[in-house]
Chain A
Amino acid sequence: MSGLRVLVAIALAHLRVRTRQTLVAALGVTIGVGIFLATSGMMIGSQSDFVRTLVNSAPHIIVKDEHRGASPQPLRAAFPSAAIAIRGVRPRDEVRGLKDWPGMLADARALPGAIAAPSLSGAISLGFAGRTEPAALNGVDPQIEGRLVDIEETLTGGQLSDLEQRPDGIIITRPMADRLGANLGDTLVVSSPAGVLQRMRILALIRPDALTGFYAGDNTAYGLLRTAQVLFARPNVVNQIHIKVGDPQAAEALAGRLEERWGYKWESWQERSRDILGLLVARTIITYAIISAVLLVATFGVYTGVSNSVNDKRRDIAILRAMGFTRPDVQGIFLMEGMVVGVVGAIGGFAVGSALIGALAAAPISINGQVTHLPIDRSLTQYGIAGGVCIVAALVAAWLPARKAAQVDPVDILRGAA
């Protein structure tokens, strides 16, 4: 629009002479934006922290010795257009485990930024002092597994790598140790479904940790891969490959691609957490809807301010129209008034929001006796969303009175004034 500057100058002049109303309207927006930032910072921050925990507490992709569906019958593949009836199908007695796992491992390690390790998992029973408890043993390569998941921070009394020094070592959870009445350094009797019995010494305990988020459940246990192979009587067999990729968000796509190639189930962290991620999306929508509504209410002040301005300036509107200003010019002047209030309010809101976020982030909170701080999202995205919503809301609020201003008939005003 040519002559835009003159419209801005008139809008600013209108706002200048109504300083108090302008400031009150801007203050409403400031408070709205401040609350928006603090709330979204907390909600999105806690959500991001939760997702980070989800991502890091388990491998990004787990390859399992399972298939998503039954294998197609070779007969159907041979005669695709024939009418075939197959009766009395008996599944082949297959040995569980990943076939050609070294090939899969090589493929997994070839993914961008990936590390991968084989593992053998299975059910065991732990015995100590006459008590027996079931558990799930993960036979792993400690060097690599420690880099795959955030387990080290939750270990007390030892490290995952201690398993390398003591092939008869086992790591169990603190609640499991409590149930057995065992402690660090005690020797457990471990038995497997294969009938193998082995004495294993507790090298470290996994502590349920709300802060790091890693905790796979009370019954989880870790041992050396080759120890697990002996225990399950399955030498050189692995039934899982654990993979951490460079970009966790790409895990699902990568898993899908490799599953197509290898046939086994390549399960990404997104697939494992589908329900939770769905809930988080719903939670995000609800969060933004509520705080946007707060901001919308805050912009009512803009509507009132611009509406009053239009009523006060009807004679000015008439003379501007008589001078040669168009209806869109007049509408533009009052829209700009709303936008200026929105922008000033948003800038103030950024300052208030930053201060609130700073205060919330600094406030200590206690979880399970451990002092920590609220996870707050301080990303520029939140400021961008708050600023964008605020300016759009201010423009919408100013639009109605601005439209009314553009419809003012100068003749009616001039005739009335004459």
Chain B
Amino acid sequence: MSARLEAEHVTRTLPAPDNATLVRDASLCVGAGEFVAIQGPSGCGKSSLLYLLGLLDRPTTGIVRIDGVDTSQLSEDARTRLRLERIGFVFQFHFLLPELTALENIELPMRRLAVLSREAIAARARGLLDALGLRHEADKRPDRMSGGERQRIAVARALANDPSIILSDEPTGNLDSANTRLVVEEFRRLAHEQGRAVACVTHDAEVAAAADRRIRMLDGRIITDKG
């Protein structure tokens, strides 16, 4: 299994005056078709590690590789471009743009990438909605949808540019058990059927149980990594 996402001795220390170390010497690897859960108590550095893996933050030391590319030497613009093309994010809060419809929200990353034609973008966005059973929500704004629907729209948006990596931070934190199951199933499908690398920060035992591997963190360190 080829590695999609790698962290090698990654440490993140906040600059003065905080000087707090959020992540300490963390190394991990998520391969194509793998669904990995990252667990640990609040404040242990799970989300900070996810932001480092997603190129939203830069490690103080260590290397993050995306599809084999060492990102430590890349410019801000190159990292942003890599994020746009290769990484999809799903957060606890859906973070859909409230002014846009579901379809328009899903189209956003594709329109920014500006590779497909307008028609192709719309067709792909509708295809993603269909795949997630949300066809009827296409023209609704987020405030007219349920929490589960919003989160699945956020998943669809994360998939818009067909990324090889999906990073998720407590995606089921605001969902009931039925919607949690739907999202977990979707993550498994993305990994196992579509060959994407999925890393998911979670407190939810059901999500962790569904993952192929469970990484546990404590005080910024990875303490266990079990299959």
Expressed in whole angstroms, the Cα–Cα distance for A16 and B100 within the complex equals 11
- Cα(A321)–Cα(B48), bound, Å: 16
Asked if B114 lies at the interface with its beta carbon under 8 angstroms from chain A, I say: yes
Q: Which of B90-98, B185-193, B209-217, B219-227 lies at the binding interface?
A: B90-98
Expressed in whole angstroms, the minimum distance between the Cβ of A261 and any Cβ of chain B is 65
B56–A321 contact, CB under 8 A?
A: yes
CA–CA, A17 to B143, complex, Å? 13
Instruction: Pick from B31-39, B78-86, B132-140 the stretch touching chain A.
Output: B78-86
Closest to B86 in A: A324
Task: Check: B76 CB closer than 8 A to any chain A CB.
Answer: yes
Known: A324-B83, A414-B91, A414-B169. A5 touches B54 (CB 8 A): no
The count of residues in chain B whose C-beta lies closer than 8 Å to any C-beta of chain A is 34
- Tell me if A13 counts as interface (CB < 8 A to partner B): yes
- 0/1 interface trace, chain B 89-114, chain A, CB 8 Å (1 if under): 10111010111100010001101111
Q: What residues of A have a CB within 8 angstroms of the CB of B95 in the complex?
A: 315-316, 318-319, 417
- Find chain A residues with CB under 8 A from B119 CB: none
Is A324 a contact partner of B109 (Cβ separation < 8 A)?
Answer: yes
In whole Å, how far is B188's beta carbon from the nearest beta carbon of chain A?
A: 23
Q: Which residues of B contact A322 (CB under 8 A)?
A: 54, 56, 83, 89, 91
| Interchain CB contact under 8 A, A3 and B114 | yes
- Interface of chain A, helix or strand or loop or mixed? helix
A326–B80 contact, CB under 8 A? Answer: yes
A13 contacts B97, C-beta separation under 8 Å: yes
Q: Which residues of chain A from 300 to 342 have any CB-CB distance to chain B below 8 Å in the complex? A: 315-316, 318-327, 329
* A414: chain B residues within 8 A (beta carbon): 47, 51, 56, 91, 169
Query: Could you tell me if B99 and A16 are in contact, using CB atoms closer than 8 angstroms?
Result: yes
Nearest CB in chain B: distance from A10 CB, A: 7
A10-B97, A13-B99, A318-B95 in contact; A324/B56 too (CB < 8 A)?
no
| Distance between Cα atoms of A320 and B56 in the complex (Å) | 11
Q: Closest Cβ of chain A: how far from B207's Cβ, in Å? A: 16
How far apart sit A411 and B59, CA to CA, in the bound complex (Å)? Answer: 13
Given contacts A2-B114, A13-B97, contact A415 B47 (CB under 8 A): yes
CB distance B98 to A326 under 8 Å? no
Contact B47 A324, beta carbon cutoff 8 Å: no
Residues 1 to 38 of chain A near chain B (Cβ within 8 Å): 2-3, 5-6, 9-10, 13-14, 16-17
Alpha-carbon distance A418/B98, docked complex (angstroms): 18
User: Chain B residues with Cβ under 8 A from A324's Cβ?
Assistant: 80-81, 83-85, 87, 109, 112-113, 161
Q: A319 and B84: CB pair below 8 A?
A: no
Q: Tell me, yes or no, whether A410 is within 8 Å of chain B by CB.
A: yes
Q: How far is the CB of B48 from chain A (nearest CB, A)?
A: 8
Contact partners of B83 in chain A: CB under 8 A: 322-324
Contacts of B108 in A (CB 8 A): 6, 10, 320, 323
Asked if B149 lies at the interface with its beta carbon under 8 angstroms from chain A, I say no
Question: Do B97 and A316 have beta carbons less than 8 Å apart?
Answer: yes
Residues of B within 8 A of A325 (CB): 80, 84, 112
Contact A418 B111 (CB under 8 A): no
Q: Are A3 and B111 in contact (CB under 8 A)?
A: yes
B77 at the interface (CB under 8 A from A): yes
Contact yes or no, A418 B169, CB < 8 A:
yes
Please give, as numbers and ranges, the residues of chain A lying within 8 Å of B114 by CB-CB distance: 2-3, 6
> What separation, in Å, do the CA atoms of A321 and B109 have in the docked complex?
11
B170 CB–A CB distance under 8 Å: yes
Cα(A325)–Cα(B114), bound, Å: 12
Q: When chains A and B are docked, how far (Å) is the Cα of A57 from the Cα of B43?
A: 87
B8 in contact (CB, < 8 A): no
Knowing A323-B84, A323-B89, A324-B81, the reply to whether A6 touches B112 (Cβ < 8 A) is yes
Is the pair A417, B91 in contact by a Cβ cutoff of 8 Å? Answer: yes
Best-surrounded residue of A9, A14, A315, A414 (most CB of chain B within 10 A): A414
Contacts of B157 in A (CB 8 A): 323
Query: A324 to B86, alpha carbons, bound, how many Å?
Result: 10
Cβ contact within 8 Å between B97 and A327: no
Q: What 1/0 mask marks residues of chain B from 46 to 69 whose CB sits below 8 Å from any chain A CB?
A: 011001001011000000000000
Shortest C-beta distance, B155 to chain A (Å), equals: 13
A417-B93 contact in complex given A321-B56, A324-B85, C-beta closer than 8 Å: yes
**Which residue of chain A has its CB nearest to the CB of B82?**
A324
Which of A16, A17, A319, A411 has most chain B Cβ within 10 Å?
A: A319
Highest count of chain A CB atoms <10 Å: which of B76, B89, B99, B111: B99
Residue contacts A-B, CB under 8 angstroms, 16 given: A3-B112, A14-B99, A316-B98, A321-B56, A322-B54, A323-B157, A324-B161, A325-B80, A325-B112, A326-B77, A329-B112, A411-B56, A414-B51, A415-B47, A415-B51, A418-B47
Which A positions have Cβ atoms within 8 angstroms of B?
A: 2-3, 5-6, 9-10, 13-14, 16-17, 315-316, 318-327, 329, 410-411, 414-415, 417-418
| Further pairs besides A411-B56, A414-B51, A417-B93: 8, Cβ < 8 Å | A14-B99, A316-B97, A319-B95, A322-B91, A324-B80, A325-B80, A326-B77, A411-B51
